Amino acid sequence: MKKNYMMWGGLLVAAGVSVMVSCKKSFLELNPKGQSLESNYYQTPDQAFAGLVAAYDPLNTETGGSDNTYSDPLGALNAASDDCVAGGGGSTDMTFWQAMNDLTLLTPAVGPQGEFWAINYTGVNRTNLILSKLGNVPGLSTALQTRYTAEAKFLRAHYYFDLVRIFGHIVLYTSPLTTNQLYTQKQVDPSAVYAQIEADLTAAIPGLPSTVPASENGRVTQGAAKALLGKVYLYEKKYAQAATQFADVNGTPGGTSQYGYHLMANFGDIFSPNHKFNSESIFEIERTASQNYSWGNWNTFKANVYTQMVGPRSYNGPIYWAGWGFNPVTTDLANFMHNDPRYGYTIVNIDSLTKATNSTYQPSYENTGYFIQKYAPLLKYKSTTGTAELNFPNDYIEIRLADTYLMEAEALVQSNSGLVRAQALLDAVRARVGLAPVPVTMAAIQNERRAELATEGHRWFDLVRWGIADQVLGTSKHFQKGKNEILPIPLKDMSNTQLVQNPGY
């Protein structure tokens, strides 16, 4: 019988996890010393914490899915947008990303859907498991049970939010399933999934801390849960409710919010490994270079391999380490941002650099000469131990303050209310980089989101939810309206199940 990937990783949990005593060691860095059967586990508070860490771990997974391939979502999402192309060594290099770059190649068997599906359902499985156990752990205090429950509900909401916006009709379950039940589950309407996400986040918010100490960086806070709930409402077009959640997170535009968030003075500092968990970071996925891992540690490393992926191929020169040439920036984005102060922190023109410094590189497939700067493999961050390619320390900030400013402005404009505040939010994002105000409209917000958040993995989702993906991506990516808003259900997960394939695939 084939392996069912909705249950991958959920029946066993790591028995040993990192202790949160040093900011040099990621909270999400698992350090397994063995495995225990789930039926014999969760007998101490330490084991409950281990189960919680296991529930966080899929956020930081860069390998996995149906074939255990490299699976960082940024590569596929950037390739699907008008920010980047797939790149790499050729048309068959990372075929899953190439299929997002040219959607005529996307089929149930070819594409990144196996990774999105399996990793997120691993998260669902682990959150359901820990939630089913927390009420019966000997010695676990009420305070810790409340916090762990809130964190697990946030995580379950996060995993389901990714699944529903990527696949549409998905399987929804909120308690552990037996092996036989896995094969009988049916998809539900997206509205039911969104209702569960709302319920989980609403329940989680009161039990989460407002802030965490540095030793717990990476754990969920109340601000992160409100920001995610606001984003969920925005996707549902519940604009007034979205604006309310974002206002709680954002506070006074340009000021410091109740959670201590404020815009960074220097845009480039946001993405620097020297400024992890900075004042603009609301929900950040930490990467660590301290493991010093090599290729023999496949499927366990917690550094940022995407940094290696996007560096120029075979580069020999100053500033950068040689990468593998994926996700070159499109000339469209480079031209769009040419006069924007954020350009140099977002894009690097390697063609110009090689001419100025007598350095060399090998052009990528569909090379443009422009590469991602936000996650670039800088020489100063190259590890001197282990395999350098697997040990870059660049974090991924999934939700940051400028993002929530612009989402609140969008919610206010869409609901035609609070336009003065919407203008102030847009102005604050622009003023931070020295740009003059422009009248707040949906078009202005859309342009600002592209410039502010370029290559951060949001653009494809934005175009889809705005309903303009076919207009923007129809020619360059062959986006078909009514089909490519969602991905196909992975072919390997269709066999022996009740799953129904998405339309058009």
Does the residue 91 lie in any domain? no
Tens digits of residue pLDDT in 398-431: 999 999 999 999 999 999 999 999 999 999 999 9
Q: Is residue 28 pLDDT above 50, yes or no?
A: no
Domain hosting 324: range is: 307-396
Among 365, 396, 427, the domain boundary falls at 396
Q: 193 and 44, same structural domain? A: yes
Q: What value does the mean pLDDT take over residues 60-71?
A: 78
CATH of the domain at 173: 1.25.40.890
Confidence of residue 6 (pLDDT cuts 50, 70, 90): very low
Residue 42 sits in the same domain as residue 143: yes
The answer to whether position 230 is within a domain reads yes
37 confidence band (pLDDT: 50, 70, 90): low
Is residue 69 classed as helix, strand or coil in its secondary structure?
strand
Output the pLDDT for position 39: 73
Res 477: pLDDT: 98
Whole-angstrom Cα distance, residue 502 to residue 505?
6
Q: What is the pLDDT of residue 332?
A: 98
> Tens of pLDDT along 194-207?
999 999 999 999 99
The least confident of 63-77, 203-217, 225-239, 458-472 is 63-77
Query: How far apart are the two ends of the chain, measured CA to CA in Å?
Result: 25
State percent of the chain over pLDDT 90: 85
- Quick one: 344 and 250 in the same domain? no
pTM of the full structure: 0.93
* CATH number, domain containing residue 248: 1.25.40.390
* Residues 97-150 pLDDT 10s: 999 999 999 999 999 999 999 999 999 999 999 999 999 999 999 999 999 999
Higher per-residue confidence, 495 vs 270 = 270
Does residue 332 sit in the same domain as residue 416? no
Strand, coil or helix: 47: helix
Quote the crossing angle between the two packed helices 73-80 and 113-133, to the nearest 10°.
Answer: 130
Handedness of CA 5, 10, 16, 22 (dihedral sign): positive
CA 160 to chain centroid, in Å, comes to: 13
Identify how many contiguous H helices and E strands the chain contains and give both numbers.
Answer: 18, 12
Q: Does the residue 93 lie in any domain?
A: no
Specify whether 272 is located in the same domain as 346.
no
Q: Tell me the mean pLDDT in the region 18-33.
A: 36
SS3 241: helix
Same domain assignment for residues 170 and 44: yes
What CA–CA distance (Å, rounded) separates 161 from 53?
20
Are residue 421 and residue 448 in the same domain, yes or no?
yes
Under 8 Å between Cβ of 28 and 96: no
Token pair of 493, please? 């997960």
For residue 34, what pLDDT band results from cuts at 50, 70 and 90? very low
SS3 (DSSP) at 270: helix
Domains in the chain: how many in total?
A: 3
**Strands 69-70 and 370-372, sheet pairing:** unpaired
413 phi/psi in degrees, rounded to 5: -65, -40
Query: With pLDDT > 70 as the criterion, what percentage of the chain qualifies?
Result: 92
User: ∠197-201-203 over CA atoms, to 5°?
Assistant: 120
Bridge partners, 70 (sequence order) = 63
107 belongs to a structural domain: no
Query: Which domain-ending residue is among 375, 396, 417?
Result: 396
Asked whether residue 349 is domain-assigned, the answer is yes
- Phi/psi for 183 (5° steps) reads -90, -5
pLDDT, residue 15, reads 28
Alpha-carbon radius of gyration of the chain? 22
- Using the Cα atoms of residue 59, residue 404, residue 279 and residue 344 in order, give the sign of their dihedral: positive
Say yes or no: 333 and 446 in one domain. Answer: no
Confidence bin at 12 (pLDDT 50/70/90): very low
296, part of any domain: no
State the pLDDT at residue 489. Answer: 97
338-373: pLDDT as tens digits: 999 999 999 999 999 999 999 999 999 999 999 999
Average confidence score pLDDT of the chain: 92
Q: Where are the alpha helices (DSSP H) in 36-167?
A: 45-56, 73-80, 95-101, 113-133, 142-167
pLDDT tens figures, 141-185: 999 999 999 999 999 999 999 999 999 999 999 999 998 898 999
- Judged by DSSP in three states, 82 sits in coil
pLDDT classification of 280: cutoffs 50, 70, 90: very high
Same domain, residue pair 147 and 131: yes
Q: Are residues 232 and 266 in the same domain?
A: yes
Backbone angles phi, psi at 386, to 5 degrees: 70, -165
Q: How far apart are CA 67 and CA 382, in angstroms?
A: 29
Evaluate whether residue 354 is within a structural domain.
yes
Instruction: Classify residue 140: in a domain, yes or no.
Output: yes
Whether residue 389 is found in the same domain as residue 416: no
158 & 238 share domain? no
